[in-house]
Structure 1
Amino acid sequence: MSAESVLASKVKELYKTLCQTEWNPTVTGVVVGFLSVMIMAWWRPWGAVGALRSWGDWMMYGVASVFGSDSGLLALYEEVPRSIFINSGSVIGLGFIAGAFISACLGKDFALRIPPYREMVKAVIAGILMGVGASLAGGCNVGGFYNAIGNLSANGFSMMLGLVFGVILGLKLLYLEMEHITWGSTGSKTFSIPGPASPVLAVVAIVAIIAGAYAYAGNEDSDYVASLSGILVISAALGYAMQRGRWCMVQGFREPHMTGDCTMAKSVMLSIVIVAIGAAVLKYGVPMRAEGEAVLNPAHYVRGTFGWGSVVGGFVFGLGAMFAGGCGSGTLWRVGEGQVKLMMVVPFFALSTSMMTAWIKDNDFESDGVLGSYVYLPDVFGYGGTLTLIVGAMMIWYVVVTWNEDTNKLIVPM
């Protein structure tokens, strides 16, 4: 075989590995953890619900503009929201979906998949539950759990507790649905894109992201807008990695109680440890930094929901995620690969989290301590003690799920 043929085969092999083969969950967890630290180092942690809330704010502002905002909830939407192309949370969401779309097109996974009628109904219910739960908890599975623990906040642990019980109840309800409900099992369709068109669409999306990043970076009037260039690129990389590895956090809670498999759970806990170490490095005050301040604001993703707010919010969110078939981040990357059910989840998730968050803010529930407390763990245990606590908690989770994998003691019976 000639050297040119060997080179061509290696290029194809690399393309297959990066763009077509489903990535190992552990590798994906490490990549997601690394990119999570990168986006924190660039500016701020990433999340999913910020994008949805931004889009929901615009929907509600449109309703208020048409029908007036003289009374009720619409009175909270008198001010024009920040543009979805300027709001950092929205830019993260847009980049995330674009990255997942690129991955799906390069891997020839993209197709418009219309679900059965019953799944459409569940999408509406799921979106509402997830929006309400995320507002109570101070974030979805990303901001309220993954990045909350990763950013050394106690409310991440209390949301984790709620998520476990919400997922278990959701699993029981899905079993009951399978046993007793037959309505709406038809109507599913799939519209695939011709094979040669998929790579072309991927290239178009890549060019759009690069053009968008350059447009942001070229803004000389606002450092805030200029910094969105990195936010867009890194969030697209996150969307790409999670779609390629089919990495969904709710699966880490569901599978141990459904099949006993703990592969995703182990990946999530490893990823959280990576983020926590990165956040500790970035948030720790090093004297050589400008004026002795840490690069990353220690208050990022530390919410006043350490208490009933994040437990109940996690429970409601976990229940909704089971009906949706995806968590907050899982919803966005599945939208990027053409899942119509998750596209239906998005507007209801967006509207419910927008309205619920507006109500909570208007009544100062979080700031007044109604939902719980603000607990930044290093203020209690120091940075070393906090990292020991997080690593220890993840090790306990590891022991529980691996024990269950061998014994099936925690599996929910059908």
Structure 2
Amino acid sequence: MRPIQTVANHLNTLLRTPFVQGWSPALGALLVVLGMGFFLLTGNVWSVFAGVRYVGDAINNVLGLGPFLQLDEHLLNPLRHRSFVSDMAMVLGAMGAAMLSGRFRLSLPAPTEYGSAALGGILMGIGASLAGGCTVGGFFTPLVFASPAGWMMLVGLMLGAAVGVRFLLWAMEALPWGRAPKPLFTGAGWQLFFTWLGWLLLLAGVAWGLFWLTQGGQDATLTQRGYIVLIALFLGVNLQRSRLCFSRAVREPFETGSGRFARAVMLAILLVTPLSALIISQLQIDVYAIIPPRFWWGSLLGGCLFGVGMVLGSGCAASSLWRLGEGNLKMVVTLLFFAWSGSTSFALMRMQGWLELDVDVEYLDGVPTLTALGYQTYLPDLLGGWGWTMGVTLLIVVVWYILVQYNEKNETFTLF
């Protein structure tokens, strides 16, 4: 048995090497772009908020609020809900990676942080409903599909993050914050257990995705969900190891002056724009079936509220999922209130007619939808092609880069 155990330990050490070593945010950005490319090629879109809102719908039904909010009494099977499946696969990937890297800790927040997590989650839910998505669906994915709604949400996120950081500074001085309890299950024996459990989780995730792929047959939706599981599992591993976070990219210049994650997100935008242009053109993807009708004020106001919320909740939607995978139990509170608020606010907006769709049949080459919160915008239609779109994208990123670099040297916008 000893030779077998020795070989197993050596193999475990060898295979764990990529997980133990940290990944740079730039590598994380590159792999996010790769994941987005696979999403597009398989006929899918990366979405986080829809899956979170699905959980909120279930919570409201349990609370008895479903009839008032006009929610479906019988929700779609969770395994048939693409965004929910994607979210769960991301958590699974992040948890497996965290366990293999030795970063998995069941950690409880300080007492006051429960309140900040709840308030942050509520604001994130309202903001995502207004903007048509979180930092993924309202910011990054619209930019993948060349919609300025993503840039408008970024402006809102920056404004909201500045307000959130100032509020957090006040709260830390004015309120008894308390101390966080020590993390649970941190002994050497637990670490060995988590290492092997991490392998099992990742293998289970891969088996899950491959099973749906092989069983899809004539069922295209099952095949697509198989791709979603594998891509989201990959993104969960990547985001956990690289620590890449849209929330940090926006808020860190205000907190510490660092622009490391902001530059990584800029890199992702510069790389994904020509890639998406190629895939959209070759596959003739209907972008108006994907772009949220929220430009401009829905994106801006939603970004502001979401920006405040992500500071108080310690993460955006995607980063809350991979931090949950690390065992950060504050994210449970943030995500539950995010889900409930997102479901409730989205339903109330729908009941008020804010989300009622209209169309503009005279709009250039496309037929965008309109709502009370804004309309669909697609830069290649507005500017006459992808060439100008890439030029405008490059210009905005350069301006953003200059501001971040300037702030790193002078801390003009840093509030701490």
TM-score under structure 2 length normalisation: 0.89
Q: Is the 8 A contact 2:161 2:307 kept in 1?
A: yes
Q: Distance in 1 between matches of 2:66 and 2:229?
A: 34
Q: Distance in 1 between matches of 2:380 and 2:35?
A: 23
**Of residues 192, 197, 209 in structure 1, which corresponds to 2:193?**
197
Name the counterpart of 1:20: 20
Q: Distance in 1 between matches of 2:13 and 2:63?
A: 51
Q: CA deviation at 1:388?
A: 1.4
Q: Distance in 2 between matches of 1:12 and 1:332?
A: 26
Structure 2 runs not aligned, ≥5 long: 1-7, 358-369
Change over 3 Å in CA distance of 1:206–1:10 after alignment to 2: closer
Letter in 2 for 1:108: G
Name the counterpart of 2:236: 239
Q: CA deviation at 1:166?
A: 0.4
Q: How do 1:12-411 and structure 2 match up within 5 A?
A: 15=15, 17-64=17-64, 69=67, 72-73=68-69, 76-182=70-176, 184-192=177-185, 194-217=190-213, 218-220=215-217, 222-284=219-281, 286=282, 294=284, 296-366=285-355, 367=357, 368-381=370-383, 382-411=385-414
Name the counterpart of 1:290: none
Letter in 2 for 1:259: T
Change over 3 Å in CA distance of 1:347–1:9 after alignment to 2: closer
Aligned length: 392
Q: Is the 8 A contact 2:103 2:326 kept in 1?
A: yes
**Percent of matched pairs sharing the same residue:** 29
Q: Distance in 2 between matches of 1:61 and 1:273?
A: 42
Q: Distance in 2 between matches of 1:124 and 1:272?
A: 31
Q: Is the 8 A contact 1:100 1:337 kept in 2?
A: yes
Q: CA deviation at 1:303?
A: 1.1
Query: After superposition, what is the alpha-carbon deviation per residue over 1:197-246, rounded to whole angstroms, capped at 9, x for unaligned?
Result: 11221122123213322332203462112221111011010010000011
Q: Which moved more, 1:200-209 or 1:11-20?
A: 11-20
Q: Which moved more, 1:270-279 or 1:356-365?
A: 356-365
Change over 3 Å in CA distance of 1:10–1:187 after alignment to 2: closer
Q: Which moved more, 1:352-361 or 1:122-131?
A: 352-361
Q: Is the 8 A contact 2:124 2:307 kept in 1?
A: yes
Q: Distance in 2 between matches of 1:249 and 1:68?
A: 32
Change over 3 Å in CA distance of 1:31–1:13 after alignment to 2: farther
Q: Distance in 1 between matches of 2:19 and 2:66?
A: 49
Letter in 1 for 2:46: W
Q: CA RMSD in A?
A: 2.2
Q: CA deviation at 1:346?
A: 1.2
Structure 1 runs not aligned, ≥5 long: 1-7, 287-292
Query: After superposition, what is the alpha-carbon deviation per residue over 1:114-144, rounded to whole angstroms, capped at 9, x for unaligned?
Result: 0111011111111111111000011101111
Q: Which moved more, 1:239-248 or 1:32-41?
A: 32-41
Q: CA deviation at 1:10?
A: 11
Name the counterpart of 1:4: none
Q: Distance in 1 between matches of 2:326 and 2:127?
A: 25
Query: After superposition, what is the alpha-carbon deviation per residue over 1:300-346, rounded to whole angstroms, capped at 9, x for unaligned?
Result: 54111112111110000010000011111110000111000001111
Name the counterpart of 1:289: none
